[in-house]
Structure 1
Amino acid sequence: MSDLEPELATKAPESDLYDEPLDADKETLPTTATASVPVPSSTAQPTLSEHCTTDRPLPTTLPDAPSGQLTTYKDNIKTYISKPSDYPTTPARLLLLLTNGTGVDSLNNQHQADMFARKNYVVVMPDLFSGDPAPNTKPTEHTKADEASASWLETVKLKAAETAKAFTLDMWLARHTPEKVLPIIHRVLEQAREEFADAVSHGGGVYGVGYCFGGKYVLTLASERGNKAMPGHQADERAAEEGMVRRGLEIKAGVCAHGTLVGREDMRGITAPVSLICVENDPLFPGEVLEDGEKWLKENGVEHEIDVYGDVPHGFAVVGEYESNTIREAQTRAFEQTIKWLDAH
């Protein structure tokens, strides 16, 4: 990860939503609406994790290919749709799935959508990045011992390469701010509500699940901020002026799994029931932000649950193969937690 200054490492020029992040992992500490969340101490300010931008190998237990289909929604938004095998004969609910930085073409993300379809959800997964997924920022592989034995010039080159990767990712974040991403989500939701009106009716609304980058936006959709016109988007501004902006929340209930670059303002204002799957000492969802958000949710009577997983990397809940039994078991438990929360609402 980069040692860039906080303003470069965590903030895109068009957004001030990112608070200061933290560091590392430990043991699993499940919490609920009545439990407190441990607050780690602050350390470095990274940009995004490689787990947000790099797909893990696919488990061999998965089908040969995803079962859903890529289609195009209004305004040329590429969208992956996955449905239960017996839909619409058997009623299902509508789920909006918001991805990490690898985006809609990622086979991992498509298989993740299929997992929800097998649990009786019609899944709509849009391309949040307009064909521009995050650059692969997996750091150059070298150990501290390698670095210690390397020449001064080799060490400088290694550090420069990591800094360049972080800068590239900062530039990518600057291209995909809420002002750009929320209008995409609004348009996809509008069409999905029409196309799958039966699923919306069956579930009493739309459900939302987001991983990494997408997790932050599920929190937005669970608040009043999620249904407002975004500055700079003329169509949305005209709709607001004409009184056409939807009232109420965009989602009925949501799950945010290891949200990326979540700030205090992302937690405040939430009114829909939310489940948070977090990683202990996650630099991208700081402990003090989580604690502040939990306090806000409690004080405002918002139904919620928080589960903090230890000994797992950021991004662990997305489909992908890990050698560690601890991580594999946590991945399974996180999906079960997600389904249980959605089904209960």
Structure 2
Amino acid sequence: MADEVLATRAPESDAQEVSGIEGDTKPDQGAASMGEITKFNDTEVYITKPADYPHAPSKLLLLLTGGTGVHSTNNQLQADKYAGEGFLVVMPDQFAGDPAPTTTTSSGPAEAHPSIIEQVKLGVASVAKSFTIDMWLARHTPEKVLPILHKVITSVKEEFADAVANGGGIYAVGYCFGAKYVLLLGSSALHQLDSAHVHVRAPESDAEEGIVKQGPQIKCGAIAHGTQISQQDMAEASVPMCVVAVEDDPLFPDRVRNEGLEAMKAKKLDHEFRVYPDVPHGFAVLGDYADGGIVEKQGEAFEQMLGWLKRH
């Protein structure tokens, strides 16, 4: 249970605290994104395309970000990498203009031995930050996020029907916050939403209320270091799924991952699962890490997810 508490209170950022700094890691010097921001059904989306599209066929990839959202340079560069591999990428704003807060616990350099007063100040700041994150997460629950994604998917199927048809459906990748929603979009269960949870409706109640059960909204998915994922989310996945995880990650606890993996195996779902050691939560999102080992594994994770998409 402690793991679940940590998972809901931790910052939703592309990169967990690295060298005392929270939020996006710095992009490469001079790096600039290649796509554009537009709107589908009143939702901002970042769209980036292969250089030869539409003259050459492409496949449609839905990219769901961590809490930093569509205006993060790192997220845009991540989307551009997939576009460079032949995918037409649509990255929607899941947060309706309200990305995760990126407050830090200290505005000055860290002291080797902070005074008692400084320790108290840091503690208060940490509590305030946790409260701020909790409030943000409370504003972005499945009953708020899923309708946004469904509207974007409806628009995408119309706007880029050629790419959807060429791939035989929509591919999806999700990082951090977005990983849970790749699993939900890849589920064949019909979800009833309330103010706190996502529930699976019983088939008999669906029939009684005249509700038509829809199939998965995506063809296959790949997720990296997810947050707020339950064992049920993984068990209900019904499309091929690639899972990139971080060793000893309190945001995606071992118990949840292992039980979810066993559920995938039991239903013979096509899947690929890899746990990366010695990396922070958020490592798979493009960023300028000083640690060469993290950079190397970042590249490995991208190739793993890219390879999965291309094989399906």
TM-score (norm 2): 0.87
* Structure 1 residues 61-76: aligned runs within 5 Å: 64-74=31-41, 76=42
- Asked if 1:180 is matched to 2:144, the reply is yes
Separation in 1 of the partners of 2:298 and 2:236?
Answer: 29
- Give me the CA root mean square deviation: 2.4
Corresponding residue for residue 15 of structure 1? none
**Cα offset, 1:157, TM superposition:** 1.6
Contact kept? 1:280, 1:308, Cα under 8 Å: yes
* Counterpart residue identity of residue 296, structure 1: A
The percent of aligned pairs where both chains have the same amino acid is 48
Separation in 1 of the partners of 2:284 and 2:240?
Answer: 20
* Counterpart residue identity of residue 215, structure 1: A
- Asked if 1:94 is matched to 2:60, the reply is yes
Query: What are the Cα deviations for residues 166-221 of structure 1, in whole angstroms up to 9, with x where unaligned?
Result: 10010000000011000000000010011111111111100010000001111111
Separation in 1 of the partners of 2:6 and 2:212?
Answer: 34
- Asked if 1:196 is matched to 2:160, the reply is yes
Separation in 2 of the partners of 1:241 and 1:115?
Answer: 47
**Cα offset, 1:243, TM superposition:** 6.4
Separation in 2 of the partners of 1:139 and 1:176?
Answer: 23
Query: What are the Cα deviations for residues 17-42 of structure 1, in whole angstroms up to 9, with x where unaligned?
Result: xx3558xxxxxxxxxxxxxxxxxxxx
Separation in 2 of the partners of 1:246 and 1:125?
Answer: 26
* Counterpart residue identity of residue 57, structure 1: K
SS of residue paired to 2:218: coil
Q: How many residues align structurally? A: 294
Separation in 2 of the partners of 1:266 and 1:335?
Answer: 23
Query: What are the Cα deviations for residues 303-335 of structure 1, in whole angstroms up to 9, with x where unaligned?
Result: 111110011100011110011111000011111
Query: Paired residue for 1:109, among 49, 59, 75?
Result: 75
**Cα offset, 1:118, TM superposition:** 0.7
Segments of structure 2 that go 5 or more residues without pairing to the other structure are 17-21, 196-206
Query: Paired residue for 1:315, among 276, 282, 285?
Result: 282
- Asked if 1:167 is matched to 2:131, the reply is yes
- Asked if 1:288 is matched to 2:288, the reply is no
Separation in 1 of the partners of 2:149 and 2:213?
Answer: 13
Query: What are the Cα deviations for residues 101-145 of structure 1, in whole angstroms up to 9, with x where unaligned?
Result: 000111111111111111110101100000000000444377684
Contact kept? 1:137, 1:166, Cα under 8 Å: no
Distance 1:49 1:341, change over 3 A: same
Segments of structure 1 that go 5 or more residues without pairing to the other structure are 11-18, 23-44, 233-239
Separation in 2 of the partners of 1:275 and 1:282?
Answer: 17
Pick 1 or 2: higher relative contact order, CA cutoff 8 A, min separation 6. 1
* Structure 1 residues 45-60: aligned runs within 5 Å: 46-48=9-11, 50=13, 51=15, 54-60=23-29
Distance 1:257 1:95, change over 3 A: same
Separation in 1 of the partners of 2:211 and 2:156?
Answer: 18
Query: Paired residue for 2:246, among 270, 273, 279?
Result: 279
Corresponding residue for residue 202 of structure 2? none
Separation in 2 of the partners of 1:241 and 1:130?
Answer: 34
- Asked if 1:207 is matched to 2:164, the reply is no
Separation in 1 of the partners of 2:5 and 2:235?
Answer: 16
Separation in 2 of the partners of 1:262 and 1:94?
Answer: 25
Contact kept? 2:176, 2:224, Cα under 8 Å: yes
* Structure 1 residues 1-345: aligned runs within 5 Å: 19-21=4-6, 46-48=9-11, 50=13, 51=15, 54-60=23-29, 64-74=31-41, 76-140=42-106, 145-147=112-114, 150-151=115-116, 153-225=117-189, 228=191, 230-231=193-194, 247-345=214-312
**Cα offset, 1:261, TM superposition:** 2.1
SS of residue paired to 1:72: strand
